[in-house]
A = this chain, B = another copy of it.
Amino acid sequence: MAQQTEKAKAKLHSLTAALESGALAQVRRILNSGLAPVDIAHLIESSPPKARKLLWELVDKELEGEVMQNLSEELQSHFLSDMSAEEVVDLTADLDTDDVADMLQQLPERVTQEVLESMDHQDRARLEAVLGYPEDSAGGLMNTDTVTIRPDITLEVVLRYLRRHKSLPAMTDNLLVVNRQNEFIGTLAISKLLVSDPQQTVREVMSTDARVIQATQHESEVAKLFERHDLVSAPVVDAAGMLLGRITIDDVVDVIRETADHSLMSMAGLDDEEDTFAPTLKTSRRRAVWLGINLLTALAASAVIGLFDKTIEQVVALAVLMPIVASMGGIAGSQVLTLVIRGQALGHLSGSNFRWLFNREIMVAAINGVLWAVVIALITYAWFRDPAIAIIIGAAIIINLMVAAMTGASLPLLLKARGIDPALAGSVVLTTVTDVIGFLSFLGLATLFYL
Question: Could you tell me which residues of chain A, from 332 to 373, have a CB within 8 Å of some CB in chain B?
Answer: 332, 334-335, 337-339, 342-343, 346-350, 352-353, 356-357, 360, 363-364, 367-368, 371-372
- Residues on B with C-beta less than 8 A from A10 are none
The answer to whether A368 touches B2, judged by C-beta atoms less than 8 angstroms apart, is: no
* Stretch among A73-81, A114-122, A123-131, A252-260 lining the B interface: A252-260
Say how far A244's CB is from chain B's closest CB, in angstroms. Answer: 13
Q: A443 — nearest CB in chain B belongs to which residue?
A: B319
Q: For A376, what are the chain B residues with a Cβ–Cβ distance below 8 Å?
A: 295
A387 contacts B by Cβ under 8 Å? no
Q: Beta-carbon contacts of A246-277 to B below 8 Å, as 1s and 0s?
A: 00011011001100110111011110001011
Does A4 sit at the interface, judged by CB under 8 A? Answer: yes
A173 within 8 Å of B (CB atoms): yes
A411 on interface, CB distance cutoff 8 Å = no
CA distance A38 to B226 in the complex (A): 12
Task: For the complex, give the distance between the alpha carbons of A257 and B295 in Å.
Answer: 34
Q: A263–B265 Cα gap in the complex (Å)?
A: 11
B360 touches A288 (CB 8 A): no
Q: Is A195 an interface residue (CB 8 A)?
A: yes
Given contacts A264-B263, A339-B274, A364-B283, contact A372 B291 (CB under 8 A): yes
A46 within 8 A of B: yes
A12: nearest chain-B partner, CB-CB? B350
Whether a CB of chain B sits under 8 angstroms from the CB of A399 is no
Cβ-based interface call for A45 (8 A) = yes
Partner of A335, one of B211, B268, B324: B268
- Assess the B265–A342 pair: CB atoms within 8 A: yes
When distances are taken between beta carbons in the complex, the residues of chain B under 8 Å from A166 are 195
A335-B269 in contact given A168-B194, A192-B167 (Cβ < 8 Å): yes
Chain B residues in 8 Å Cβ range of A299: 324, 379
- Please name all residues of chain B whose beta carbon is closer than 8 Å to the beta carbon of A2 when the two chains form the complex: 211-214, 217
Q: Is A21's beta carbon under 8 Å from chain B?
A: no
Q: Mark A1-38, 1 if CB is under 8 A from B, else 0.
A: 11011000000000010001000000000000000101
Q: Say yes or no: A209 contacts B283, CB within 8 Å.
A: no
Please tell me if the beta carbons of B276 and A343 are within 8 angstroms of each other in the complex. Answer: yes
Q: Which residues of B contact A168 (CB under 8 A)?
A: 191, 194-195
Residues of B contacting A368 in the complex (Cβ-Cβ under 8 angstroms): 284, 287-288, 291
Which residue of the partner chain B has the closest CB to A280? B363
Say yes or no: is A390 at the interface (Cβ < 8 Å to chain B).
no
Query: Known interface pairs A165-B195, A212-B2, A249-B249. Does A294 touch B264 (Cβ–Cβ under 8 Å)?
Result: no
Q: Mark A196-237, 1 if CB is under 8 A from B, else 0.
A: 110000000000111111100100000001111110100000
Q: Which of A302-347 contact B (CB under 8 A)?
A: 302, 305-306, 309, 312-313, 316-324, 326-328, 331-332, 334-335, 337-339, 342-343, 346-347
Instruction: Decide: A302 and B274 in contact? CB cutoff 8 A.
Output: no
A355 to chain B, nearest CB (A): 9
Query: Which residue of chain B has its CB nearest to the CB of A194?
Result: B162
Residues in A lying within 8 Å of B, measured CB to CB: 1-2, 4-5, 16, 20, 36, 38-39, 42, 45-48, 159, 162-163, 165-168, 170-173, 190-197, 208-214, 217, 225-230, 232, 249-250, 252-253, 256-257, 260-261, 263-265, 267-270, 274, 276-277, 279-281, 283-284, 287-288, 290-292, 294-295, 297-299, 301-302, 305-306, 309, 312-313, 316-324, 326-328, 331-332, 334-335, 337-339, 342-343, 346-350, 352-353, 356-357, 360, 363-364, 367-368, 371-372, 375-376, 379, 435
The 28 listed contacts between A and B (C-beta, < 8 Å) are A1-B208, A1-B209, A4-B211, A5-B211, A16-B352, A46-B347, A162-B195, A168-B194, A249-B249, A249-B253, A253-B253, A257-B260, A267-B338, A270-B335, A276-B339, A276-B348, A283-B360, A284-B363, A291-B331, A291-B332, A297-B327, A298-B328, A299-B379, A301-B323, A302-B321, A309-B317, A313-B316, A323-B323
Closest 9 CB pairs of A and B: A260-B260, A319-B319, A268-B338, A230-B250, A168-B191, A48-B356, A298-B324, A284-B367, A298-B327
Given contacts A48-B353, A277-B360, A309-B320, 6 further A-B contacts (CB under 8 A): A42-B347, A163-B194, A252-B253, A270-B339, A291-B328, A299-B324
